[in-house]
């Protein structure tokens, strides 16, 4: 009896060792979480506690265990940033340089190559949970863009839950009401169109983040038992308006519904991180946590729309200023990426070539990539980032260019606050100037108050012109599709 017990214990121990050994030997799992409209100054890891009761201990802990990036750059809206993340290209190259609005087509096309496509080719099981916003057509949906499944998805933006009430108020035609109904979608396997599960109502807005966390955690638990590595992408919906958190989080921040929404986002992130640890795959899982763009800072109805913080930077969601494109970003890979805080430049476009390199995937060479491979930088083999510039587009126009610490504006950028803050992200715009760009030193002047073009820094214009010329040269063999526009038919 005693010998039998010892044999059982030994067998169980060996089985466990084999299981964890196989997990450690295989390619790393990847879990990528994407917040929606979260500003640089909204997390306590970034704001030194000045946001009072908006505490984010789970995200802060993740930041402390990996590389916390303080110069993480994105594009100025939900759709553009997601396009840049998935394709490794500026969003204008896929015709998605503006947020996809109701009634608008476009989106990812069958010949696009995404993170899902790339990691699938490297032997990964791939899954997407949550917000997509990369095109309404079936061909643009995750299950047709490299992902094996899609849960709790919806085509557009969370503010779609407000459309029905507005159409009822204004007595819109029934056909419009039906067409504009926002459904929660699901695709259990690749191909075809995602099926509607239920209507995404204003009331369900309070529940969706909990359901996303639960679905993501369940997938991690199941997939951790399999031999194949997995890639899970989580499209959170917070703190995008309307900010209606789950009742258990109401009043928790002391900073209104927006603050409560961030507190819930942190808690739900914690659930996913706990699932990774409980499944025993933490050491062999790369966790990336980023925001898609800066926050909505100004609003006509602050409690409903948002009172976000873009930290020390000027601008907000939808315009081309630093506060719109510089936000939270962190990456953890235990034993591989040393815990640190880095102010090196890293963009959302860089994840595709970097993860391709790490996982051994081959990128098609029939298209230009704007992302750069940051593997050596992340793994400490190189002290500096491989990126020194980034172009920002609004529609079909170059709205700004970052080169090192310099920000150059070839045109006057109208902040979203010059129009209607409720529509932040839709109405950032550019206007012609007299022919000379404006230049700001972002390190010396993060609020972009003092134009230094005439202070002995005019030479920066030559660098800016060179960067744009290099981009334009790629258009000869790879022209962009038409940029989105609902005012020019």
What's the rounded Cα separation, in Å, for the pair 232 and 215? Answer: 11
Query: What does each C-alpha distance from 381 to 357, 375, 386, 414 come to in angstroms?
Result: 14, 8, 12, 41
For residue 78, the number of C-alpha atoms closer than 13 Å in the C-beta half-sphere is: 29
Would residue 16 show up in a list of annotated catalytic residues for this protein? Answer: no
To the nearest 10 degrees (0 to 180), the angle between helices 256-278 and 208-223 is 10
Contact (CB, 8 A) for 416 and 424? yes
190 Cβ contact list (under 8 Å, min separation 6): 143, 144, 147, 148
Locate all alpha helices (DSSP H) within 387-482, ordered by sequence: 460-474
What's the rounded Cα separation, in Å, for the pair 428 and 451? Answer: 20
Q: Choosing from 16, 133, 170, 478, which is the catalytic residue?
A: 133
To the nearest 10 degrees (0 to 180), the angle between helices 351-359 and 78-87 is 30
What's the rounded Cα separation, in Å, for the pair 118 and 251? Answer: 42
Q: Residue 153: name the closest of 82, 223, 229, 91 by CA.
A: 82
What's the rounded Cα separation, in Å, for the pair 407 and 460? Answer: 9
434 Cβ contact list (under 8 Å, min separation 6): none
Would residue 133 show up in a list of annotated catalytic residues for this protein? Answer: yes
Query: What does each C-alpha distance from 85 to 6, 73, 274 come to in angstroms?
Result: 52, 11, 25
Q: Which residues are known to be catalytic?
A: 78, 133
């Amino acid at each position: 009896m005693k010998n039998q017990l010892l044999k059982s214990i030994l067998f169980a121990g060996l089985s466990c060792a084999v299981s964890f050994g196989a997990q450690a030997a295989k390619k790393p799992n990847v879990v990528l979480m994407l917040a929606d409209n979260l500003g640089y100054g909204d997390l306590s890891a970034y704001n030194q506690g000045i946001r009072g009761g908006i505490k984010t201990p789970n995200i802060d802990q993740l930041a402390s265990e990996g590389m916390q990036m303080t110069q993480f750059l994105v594009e100025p809206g939900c759709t553009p940033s997601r396009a840049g993340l998935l394709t490794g290209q500026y969003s204008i190259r896929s015709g998605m340089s503006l947020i996809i609005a109701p009634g608008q087509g476009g989106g990812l096309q069958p010949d696009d190559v995404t993170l899902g496509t790339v990691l699938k080719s490297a032997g990964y099981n791939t899954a997407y949970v949550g917000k997509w916003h990369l095109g309404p057509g079936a061909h643009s949906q995750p299950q047709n863009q490299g992902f094996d499944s899609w849960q709790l998805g919806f085509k557009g933006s969370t503010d779609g839950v407000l459309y029905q009430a507005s159409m009822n108020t204004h007595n819109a035609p029934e056909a419009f009401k039906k067409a504009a109904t926002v459904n929660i979608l699901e695709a259990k396997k690749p191909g075809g169109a995602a099926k509607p599960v239920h209507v995404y109502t204003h009331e369900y807005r309070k529940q969706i983040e909990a359901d996303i966390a639960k679905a993501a955690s369940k997938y991690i638990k199941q997939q951790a038992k399999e031999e194949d590595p997995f890639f899970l992408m989580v499209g959170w919906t917070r703190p995008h308006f309307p900010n209606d958190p789950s009742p258990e989080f109401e009043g928790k921040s002391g900073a209104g519904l927006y603050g409560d929404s961030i507190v819930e986002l942190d808690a739900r992130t914690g659930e996913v991180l706990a699932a990774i640890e409980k499944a025993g795959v933490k050491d062999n899982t790369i966790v990336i946590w980023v925001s898609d763009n800066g926050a909505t800072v100004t609003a006509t109805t602050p409690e409903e729309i948002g009172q976000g913080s873009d930290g020390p930077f000027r601008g907000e969601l939808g315009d081309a200023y630093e506060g719109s494109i510089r936000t939270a970003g962190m990456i953890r890979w235990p034993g591989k990426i040393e815990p640190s805080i880095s102010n090196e430049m890293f963009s959302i476009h860089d994840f595709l070539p970097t993860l391709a390199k790490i996982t051994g995937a081959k990128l098609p060479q029939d298209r230009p990539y704007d992302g750069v491979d940051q593997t050596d930088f992340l793994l400490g083999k190189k002290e500096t980032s491989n990126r020194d510039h980034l172009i920002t587009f609004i529609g079909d126009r170059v709205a700004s260019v970052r080169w090192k610490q310099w920000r150059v504006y070839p045109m006057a950028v109208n902040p979203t606050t010059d129009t209607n803050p409720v529509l932040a992200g839709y109405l950032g715009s550019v206007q012609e100037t007299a022919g000379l760009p404006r230049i700001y030193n972002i390190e010396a002047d993060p609020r972009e108050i003092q134009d230094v073009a005439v202070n002995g820094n005019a030479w920066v214009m030559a660098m800016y012109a060179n960067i744009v010329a290099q981009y334009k040269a790629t258009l000869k063999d790879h022209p962009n599709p038409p940029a989105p526009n609902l005012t020019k038919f």
